[in-house]
A and B are shown apart, each in its own frame.
Chain A
Amino acid sequence: MSRVIVIGAGLSGLVAANRLAGKGVDVTLLTKGIGGLQLGQGSIDVLGYAPDRVTNPVLTLSAIASARPAHPYAAIGAEAVHTGIEYLKALLGDLLVGDAEANYQLPTAVGAIRPTCLVQPSMVAGNVTDGARFAIVGLRRLKDFHPKLVAENLSRTPLPDGGRLDARPVMVDVPARDGEVDSSGLTYARAFDDPAFRDRFAAALKPQLNEGETVGLPAVLGLKDRGAWKDLSEKLGHPVFEIPLPPPSVPGMRLNEALTALAKAAGVRVVNGTRAVSARVEDGVVKGVTMATAGAPREFTGEAFVLATGGFESGALAMDSYGSVTETLFGLPLQGLDDGPLVHGDYWSAEQPLFSVGVRVGKDMRVLDAAGAAVHPNLFAAGGIIGGSSRWAEKSGDGIALGSAVRAADSIVEELA
């Protein structure tokens, strides 16, 4: 029995649970499996496009908040995003760097340049600048990273500030494990945790590098050893930076593992394994959430509940064959359903309205109905379940998750006090 039940273990669930526990609240975190954090790039996107490329995310989101009242940032507000950013940076110590007022512009694994707000120190040297010289290094046995593609795309792309950089591909072959010709990024990350492997790798790569080059590598430079990238940089005598890969995302795993360990250390009771399948509501107040535990269902009761279950990708929202969309745990009222068809056939033009479907929240992150009244007085939402924006197009998902999680946690702390 805990005072607060957080449902979901993505960025918003983990941040809400940590923040509540850090303020002395007894928290249970319910999750089906591992959350989506380790599927991302291990950086924090606050606002990347609006619709043009964004350089100052917090400034731009304030403008969005005033212009679009249905956007999650309108309820969350710039201040909560600021608080969330500072909170996460403090929580994770040396794992995230950056500033709410400035986006980094970092190379991707296809050689595009993505705007993002907080990054891991191992990525910073990749921030594109006019006249930079990059050696993009591929590993022969890692099939998810193609240095030629990255280098050629980067070289022919005008940089956001108008400049140009020069990038060339380099290929090295250092096996992560004997007898394995097709290793995953994670297998390489585990190898890079070992200083002896870093020695071998540096010895193979160093002769191929030219004076003054910055070295771009797939983001596999150590999982547990946070200093692995720095050590490699010293061994090479060149600045290095990591470029995130498709899952398994090693930088994403670093964030997920750190936040999960912090939550447990702060006393959060983590119950993993089965879905939360139903909720018990009495006189409008949420009393408990039930998980489909093996043998017999288990109910988790609490005084306040944080719905951090995500969207369609996690099954928190579902659309049936008639096109009707439901929130699958509480059956909450949703916004974004009344503006015509949810999916239009032109997949390469305007955004699909479906992606903006989700719950409405007030400034305290309580879930609201269409009339603006709280659906349940003790139900709060955070992260992807909140409707009103196309996160993937805006690159705003992490900022929404952070801002709503700290706001929800702080509202709950205030009310329980």
Chain B
Amino acid sequence: MSDETKPGLEFAGHEFARASLDACVKCTICETQCPVAAVTPLFSGPKFVGPQAERYRNGDSVDHSLDYCSSCGTCTLVCPQGVQIAELNSQARAVMKADHMPLRDRLIGQTTLMGTMMTPVAPIARAALHNKPIRTIMEKVVGVHRDAPMPPPQGQTFASWWAKRPKPATAATRGTLVFFHGCAGGYFEVETSKKSVEVLEHLGYEVIVPKQGCCGLAQQSNGLFEQASASVLKLCDDLRAAGRDLTIISSSGSCTGMLKHEAHEIMGVDDERLKDVGTRIRDIMEFLLDLHEAGELPTDFATIEMTVPYHAPCQLKSQGMGMPAVEVLGLIPGLTVVESGAVCCGIAGTYGLKKEKYEIAQAVGKPLFEMVKKTNPNLALCDTETCRWQIEQSSGVKTEHPIWMVHRAYGLS
């Protein structure tokens, strides 16, 4: 084990972190819902590699099919006994991979780096990512599947738009919020970030956007616990710098989950800074729903006559707050939102990019892609970036964050 991976792994290898397995009653509910085990015999299922194999792990892993777990978190979500199945599988995998972390898994965790490199050369990057020979070489050398969805490079970062845009004409009447856009929202999903702050400003909030780094989720899901722990704490410092008691709003569903619970539960990050940020952050749709329940959300929405499929991403469901987007969008007259009912889109962050897992990820997402195409061939809604790219690439249906619909219904676009 190299020194750079040690601290996070000490927690991952610690018995206490994995103690929830004792609550497992072997009911198999997780097995029935695992989207990966449903489509491939290569993964023996969350209960087998998790609470069961865990009893035999003493340093070495006894079940290498563990690497086929996509860390979507569905097993933990559906477990009625409170076993943290996905968490302990992520921990065991990090320990298992520590001595032979593939270069590819180190690289694809570097989301900020990818954004910084691609934005200045967006047209070239776009062309390269659609170029078959280049993608074939990328697959052979790096191990990223040639057909896997890639982030769409943009000509302008959110930070650059934010710095240059004119200040809002109307004065803020409702107080101040901090906006967290995440790496993808900063570099690739710039429109989602813009629309999010515009909606918040329309509601009467002053929005602060501090300079911010990566939450480390992609590193965490690839087992790079130390780098991920450092990233998430650095981000907490960034967000705390904007003001100590302010609510933090995010339009990046999965990064929100990282801050709310994953960094703590999977990597054992036990730090006041994380606790502070993790309890102040709200998903933007969750925030709008809270406003509505408090009777403070204006519902002067324009009519949007449309039926649209909505897919709740795994890492949003894991936060345990239900599906706020469905409820908020339900307030828009004319709009019919059809929840996908699908377990997972398959991508699970970076899982579906990997050449050896691409086919599995596609098979996982197939029922969702079919549902999306059938419900509305022109538009789908989903709260996280990589899931949107996966749905869009595999179904051919344009996929937006639900805030786009709210933005439209308020007459802002």
Contact = CB atoms under 8 A, between A and B. Distances in A.
A34 B80 contact: yes
A219 B123 CA distance: 56
A248 interface: yes
A273 interface: yes
Nearest to A314: B80
B80 A33 contact: yes
B279 A296 contact: yes
B32 A253 contact: yes
Interface string A46-68: 00000000000000000000000
Contact of A34 (B78, B320, B327): B78
Interface stretch (B23-31, B135-143, B161-169, B234-242): B23-31
B307 interface: no
B311 to A, nearest CB: 14
Given A32-B82, A298-B321, A247 B27 contact: yes
Contacts of A248: 28-29, 31-32
A321 B397 CA distance: 57
Contact of B33 (A34, A179, A180): A34
Contacts of B319: 273, 293-295
A180 B41 contact: yes
B78 to A, nearest CB: 5
A261 B341 contact: yes
A149 to B, nearest CB: 21
Contact of B28 (A179, A247, A292): A247
Contact of B320 (A184, A264, A291): A291
Interface stretch (A35-43, A162-170, A229-237, A405-413): A35-43
Interface in B249-299: 256-257, 259-261, 278-279, 281-282, 293
Contact of B29 (A33, A184, A293, A295): A33
26 contacts: A33-B78, A34-B29, A36-B80, A38-B32, A39-B27, A177-B41, A184-B28, A186-B31, A247-B29, A248-B28, A248-B31, A270-B322, A271-B321, A271-B322, A272-B320, A272-B322, A273-B320, A291-B320, A292-B320, A294-B260, A294-B318, A294-B321, A295-B259, A295-B261, A295-B279, A315-B82
Contacts of B27: 39, 247
Given A177-B41, A184-B31, A269-B327, A293 B321 contact: yes
Contacts of A36: 80
Nearest to B321: A293
Contact of B38 (A190, A275, A298): A190
A298 B293 CA distance: 12
A139 B61 CA distance: 31
Given A293-B321, A295-B261, A272 B32 contact: no
Interface string B31-46: 1110000100100010
A274 interface: yes
Interface in A222-259: 247-248, 253
B317 interface: yes
Interface string B1-31: 0000000000000000000000001011101
A104 to B, nearest CB: 25
B77 interface: yes
Contacts of A373: none
Nearest to B23: A315
Contacts of B80: 31-36, 314
Nearest to A180: B41
Contact of B77 (A35, A253, A273, A293): A273
Centre residue among B41, B256, B341 by max chain A CB count within 10 A: B41
Closest 6 CB pairs of A and B: A273-B320, A295-B260, A33-B80, A271-B322, A294-B261, A274-B320
Contacts of A186: 31-32
B116 interface: no
A313 B27 CA distance: 11
B79 interface: yes
B156 interface: no
A1 interface: yes
Nearest to A247: B28
A184 B26 CA distance: 14
Among A177, A253, A261, A295, the most chain B Cβ lie within 10 Å of the Cβ of A295
Interface string A328-358: 0000000000000000000000000000000
Contacts of B38: 190
Chain A binding surface SS class: loop
B339 interface: yes
Interface in B51-101: 77-82
Given A295-B256, A295-B279, 13 more contacts: A35-B80, A186-B32, A190-B38, A247-B29, A264-B339, A269-B327, A271-B322, A294-B260, A294-B261, A294-B320, A295-B282, A298-B320, A298-B321
Contacts of B33: 34
A33 B32 contact: no
Nearest to B326: A269
Interface string A346-390: 000000000000000000000000000000000000000000000
A296 B327 CA distance: 19
Contact of B318 (A261, A273, A275): A273
A184 B386 CA distance: 31
Contacts of A177: 41
Contacts of A275: 82
B82 A294 contact: no
Interface in B299-345: 317-322, 327, 339, 341
Interface string A260-280: 010010000111111100000
Contacts of A33: 29, 77-81
B208 to A, nearest CB: 20
Contacts of B257: 294
Contacts of B260: 294-295
A39 B320 contact: no
B32 A273 contact: no
A179 B65 CA distance: 14
Nearest to B80: A33
Contact of A39 (B29, B41, B82, B282): B29
A264 B339 CA distance: 9
